[in-house]
Copies of this chain bind each other. A is one copy, B any other.
């Protein structure tokens, strides 16, 4: 695996090396709408378990709401210095209605017979619906995290800075956005913006990662 140590030139790898968890964004700079739209499109293209897409995203540009989100996030300045705050909110549970909507959409878009779809999704319902809500929320949250990984890559590809954040009070964020009434729970925040030339202690710091030998075990 000697060649896996960052020695292979590649556009995507370069972008992933360029990105970092931006600590200070430039409040004077706004991410262009077409870039935001491509990042959102990438989120929608992220694969999810059985194609269910058990999450929604909120794009917050309203200054007052961003200020409230900042309060709910221990005052982290990226919430207000970024131009767009993306909130990933996972389903609080799986329900018949939510899975039926997936069946209806697949039938309408792909023309798969309902009989075939029901044969598959009945099995899925039998697995998911009896489970504890917390287990199902945990599963839905993981799917949102796949989309977060895709979104962070897409942002880097657009040379847009993004900070993945778990350091916030989910109950407060849920309240600010009225998520409970929608059957959603906030799982991660992703401010989008542009790194400030000054004032970011992490800008220019060496990226620290495991040696590949500690990350990867080959079973050949």
Contacts and interface: CB of A to CB of B under 8 A. Distances in A.
Interface of A: 1, 3-4, 6, 8, 10-13, 16-17, 19, 21, 33-34, 37-38, 40-47, 49, 51, 53, 56-62, 65, 105-106, 109-110, 138, 141-143, 145-154, 157, 164, 166, 177, 187, 205-210, 212, 214-220
Contacts of A49: 166
Nearest to A106: B208
Nearest to A63: B220
Given A4-B40, A21-B47, A146-B152, A216 B110 contact: no
- What 9 A-B pairs are tightest by C-beta distance, nearest first? A149-B149, A145-B145, A4-B37, A16-B45, A146-B149, A149-B150, A153-B153, A60-B219, A109-B208
Nearest to A220: B61
Contact of A149 (B56, B58, B153, B205): B153
Nearest to A34: B8
Contact of A157 (B12, B34, B177): B12
Given A57-B216, A106-B208, 15 more contacts: A13-B45, A40-B216, A41-B212, A47-B164, A53-B215, A57-B215, A58-B218, A59-B219, A62-B219, A109-B206, A145-B148, A145-B149, A147-B149, A149-B153, A177-B219
Contacts of A45: 13, 16-17, 207, 209
A65 B149 contact: no
A105 B219 CA distance: 26
A70 to B, nearest CB: 14
